């Protein structure tokens, strides 16, 4: 197969996924956390496309469409929840949204 070998894509998507995970763990702003989660999902999309190309399956690309639709719904719900939280709390810092403790 011509072009970039599949391993490159897999490594790149692994790195992107890891960046996303680290971002989720260290950031405090839910919108940024959310962006990191989207990064993780897009890393998976890259994996699917690369694998689909490698196996010469159309499935790999089809899955990406489903994942994108799910991610869009996730964005809408996430923004909705964050907006609702902001309206009642006037802050979106997750350290301050922590009433319940063990």
Partner 1 sequence: MLNDYLPVLVMMAVATVIAVGMVVGSYLLGPKKPSRFKQSSYECGMTPVGTARERFPIKFYLIAMLFIIFDIETIFLYPWAVTFAGSERAVKLFNLAEMAIFVGILFVGYFYILWKGAFDWDEGQREDAEQPSRKIFEPRAPIRFGNESSGEVRLKAAADVSSSPTEESSRLTHV
Partner 2 sequence: MPGSPTIWDDLTLILPLIVLWITSFVLLLGDVVVWKKNRDLNPILAIVGTLIALGIAVYQTISLTGDKAFARSLNMDALAQVSMIALLVTGLLAILLAWTYLKNRGLERGEYYPLMLLSVSGAALMGAANDLIVLFIGLEILSFALYVMAGFSRSDIRSEEASIKYFLLGAFASAFLLYGIALVYGATQTTQLSELASRVHSAQTPMLVAGIGLLIVGLGFKAAVIPFHQWTPDVYEGAPTSVTAYMAGAAKIAAFVAMLRVFDSLAPVSSVWLGAIQALAVLTMVFGNLLAIAQTNVKRMLAYSSIAHAGYLMVAIATLAHRLDGPRGAQAGELAMTGSLFYLFAYTFMTLGAFGVLIYLSNRGKDYQQIEDLRGLVRHDPRTAYAMLFFMLSLGGIPPTMGFMGKWQIFYAALSGGEIMLAIVMALTSVMAAFYYLKIVYVMCFEEPREAAPAPAQFSFGASLSVLLSAAATILFGIMPGLLYTLTGLVR
Q: Which of 19, 24, 35, 53 binds partner 2 (CB under 8 A)?
A: 24
- Under the binding rule (CB under 8 A), the answer on residue 28 touching partner 1 is yes
CB of 1 to partner 2, least distance (A): 16
For 22-58, give one letter per residue: b (16+ CB within 10 A) or e: ebbeeeeebeebbebbebbbbbbbbbbbbbbbeeeee
- Pick what 32 binds: partner 2, partner 1, none; C-beta below 5 to 8 Å, kind-dependent: partner 1
Q: Which of 12, 19, 35, 51 binds partner 2 (CB under 8 A)?
A: 51
Between residues 55 and 66, which has the closer beta carbon with respect to partner 1?
66
- Under the binding rule (CB under 8 A), the answer on residue 59 touching partner 1 is no
- Under the binding rule (CB under 8 A), the answer on residue 80 touching partner 1 is yes
- Under the binding rule (CB under 8 A), the answer on residue 3 touching partner 1 is yes
DSSP 26-85: H---HHHHHHHHHHHHHHHHHHHHHHHHHHT-SHHHHHHHHHHHHHHHHHHHHHHHHHHH
């Amino acid at each position: 197969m011509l072009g970039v070998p599949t391993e490159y894509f897999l490594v790149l998507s692994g790195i992107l996924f890891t960046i996303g995970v680290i971002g989720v763990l260290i950031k405090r702003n839910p919108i940024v956390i959310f962006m990191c989660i989207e990064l993780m999902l897009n890393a998976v999309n890259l994996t699917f496309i690369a694998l689909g190309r490698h196996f010469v399956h159309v499935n790999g690309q089809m899955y990406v469409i489903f994942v994108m639709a799910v991610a869009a719904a996730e964005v809408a719900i996430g923004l909705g929840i964050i907006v609702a939280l902001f309206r009642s709390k006037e802050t979106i810092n997750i350290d301050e949204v922590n009433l319940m403790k063990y």
